Structures are given as structure tokens and as C-alpha cells.
Structure 1
Amino acid sequence: MLIEDKTFKFSLSIIKLVKDLKANKEFVFADQLLRSSTSIGANVVEAGAGQSKRDFITKMAIASKEARETRYWLRLIKESKLTKIGTESYLDEIDQIIKILTKIVKTSQETI
């Protein structure tokens, strides 16, 4: 599934940013960002093993919520200038992921 690969690669890319935040002693932001960003892919993978259509939709909706939370943390990190690493590419990627997940959830709900 394309979204599985996309969310996995996004989680991997976030690790660089998290390492920089921790090096700058921004542990709370680093931990929150790592938790929410890796949760996206974990929920997508769980959705693929869903026991029912409703279970699939629920897991994808959770992934979408985690993606939105990740975007929130990225915006806070950007605006507060907690790192010298540019966050624009991360924000662009998370926006794409949110769009894909939203489409998956909406399309799946229409076929119930």
C-alpha cells in the first residue's frame, strides 16, 4: 500500500529532526513529535490488518488525527525556531499524508 510506504519514510525522516531537537535539549518537543509521527504509520499498518471495514476506517481515522497532531508540533517547532533544520519539507510531506488519509477515510465511509 502506497500510504504505508509514505508514512514509514516520513517517520524515518523525522528521526533526523528529533535527534537535532534532543541535541538542543528540547526533549518534550522531540518526544511528542516522534510519538505522533510514528503513530501515523503504525495505525496505517494496523488498518491493513483490520477485522472489518469499520475497524479499517477507525484505524485510518486515528492515523489522520495523529498526522494532524504531527503537523501541529511541526508548526510549533518552526515558529519557535527550536532548530536550524528547515521544517518546510516536513510540513509539505505531512500535508500530503493528511490529504491521502482524509481521502481514504471518506472513500471508505461511502462504501459502508
Structure 2
Amino acid sequence: MGENDRIEFAEMFKRRTKKFVVDNIKFFRTLPKTEEAKIVGRQLLRSSSSVGANYRAACRARSQAEFHSKLSTVVEEADESAFWMEVLIEAEITKQADIALLLDEANQILKIASASRKTVSK
């Protein structure tokens, strides 16, 4: 992968992780107004917003170690986002069909960020 390909990928993934945040905000607005939905929904908002913010920070990293650290946070927060989505489904706060695309995106972001982290580690 050439330098231009890396830059293009980074820009695409920045847009994708930002869209993930925005989509989670929009999803949060659809949750029932119950206390448990608010609590779990806020946890999802925190973790999903951290995905986008930390990937953006990774792109501005001053060293490979800093990049690896921020990318590790992206991996952790994408996994946590998937966890809270699964909780919303299993606690019957939302239907799987209503969150399936977001859950799939969380898992795809997790896989991409994990693979990138492994590449950086080598």
C-alpha cells in the first residue's frame, strides 16, 4: 500500500468513524424514555463517540507508539459499543432489526482497527 493509498484510507475511515458517531446519536434519540434505556444508551453514546474521536487523534499522532495507543482505544471502544448494543437487544430495550446495521458497523470498525493495529505492531 503506497503513501497515497494510506492517506486515502485514513480519510475514508475518519469519515466512516464520524458517521458511526452520528448514527449512534440518531439511534439514541429513538430509544424508549425509560431509565434503563437512558443509562445504557448513554454508555453507547460515550463509547461510540470515543471511536470517532480517538481515530481522528490517531491520525494526528506524533509517533508510532502514540498511533498504536490511540488505535488500541478505538478497538476497545468499538468493542464496548458492540457490547452495549447487544445489551440493548438482550434486555429487550430495542429490537435487533432496529440496531443490526449499527452493530454490524461496530464489528466492522473493530476488525479494521484491530488489523491496522497488528500491522503497526509488526
Q: Under a length normalisation based on structure 1, what TM-score does the superposition of the two structures give?
A: 0.91
Partner of 1:5: 15
Q: What amino acid is the match of 2:93?
A: L
Q: Which runs of 5+ in 2 are unaligned?
A: 1-9
1:65 aligned counterpart, secondary structure? helix
TM-score, normalisation: structure 2? 0.84
Counterpart AA for 2:17: T
Asked if 1:50 is matched to 2:69, the reply is no
**Matches of 1:22 and 1:7, distance apart in 2:** 25
Q: Which residue of 2 aligns with 1:86?
A: 98
Taking only the aligned residue pairs, the percentage that are identical comes to: 33
Give the superposed CA RMSD: 1.4
Counterpart residue number, 1:18: 28
Decide whether the 8 Å contact of 1:37 with 1:67 is kept in 2.
yes
Residue 63 (str. 1) matches residue 77 (str. 2): no
Which residue identity does 1:57 align to in structure 2?
A: H
Please give the alpha-carbon distance, in whole angstroms, between the structure 1 residues aligned to 2:49 and 2:121: 25
2:119 to 82, 107, 110: 107
Larger Rg: 2
Report how many aligned residue pairs link the two structures.
Answer: 110
Question: How far 1:24 moved relative to its partner?
Answer: 4.0
User: Alignment partner of 1:90: what SS?
Assistant: helix
Higher relative contact order (CA 8 A, sep 6+): 1
